[in-house]
Amino acid sequence: MSIVQEFNEYRTKMNERIIEEDNKVLKRLFNLDTNAFAEGALDKKTKEIIGLTSSMVLRCDDCVKYHLGKCYELGFTSAQMFEAFSIANLIGGTIVIPHLRRAVEYWEELQKGN
């Protein structure tokens, strides 16, 4: 199983358990997440790359993986991803580099179609 499949499986499984618990605030927070990235005054691609870089400067590997998947679906090129990565690493500093390594590994996996 690829790191992409592994991530998606665990994420789906646990999100389902969280939703089952029927906590209103968490449910609405999960819904808000969907609304925030919908087409609007800013297009979907801009919103996803914002989500990606915000996740990267906050050093959240799983959030980065999620948005990398979305960015891949939306057709971003590697050159564009690396420019986004470079801004995130400059703003967030060299402590972001270990997260960059994992992001690059995941991005390459996505490109293999896994």
Give the binding site for its own copies (CB under 8 A): 10-11, 14-15, 17-18, 21, 23-26, 28-29, 32-33, 35-37, 40-42, 46-47, 49-51, 53-55, 57-63, 77-80, 82-98, 100-102, 104-105, 108
Cβ-based nearer residue to its own copies, 14 or 73: 14
Task: Count H helices and E strands in the chain, helices first.
Answer: 6, 0
Cβ-based nearer residue to its own copies, 16 or 113: 16
Cβ-based nearer residue to its own copies, 73 or 95: 95
Smallest distance from its own copies to CB 113, Å: 18
Smallest distance from its own copies to CB 65, Å: 9
Burial 39-72 (b: 16+ CB within 10 A, else e): eeeeeeeebbbebbbebbbeeeeebbbbbbbbbb
79: tokens are 């050159």
Closest to 51 (Cα-Cα) out of 88, 7, 6: 88
Alpha-helical (H) ranges within 21-60 are: 24-36, 44-57
Smallest distance from its own copies to CB 34, Å: 10
Cβ-based nearer residue to its own copies, 55 or 69: 55
Secondary structure (3-state) at 68: helix
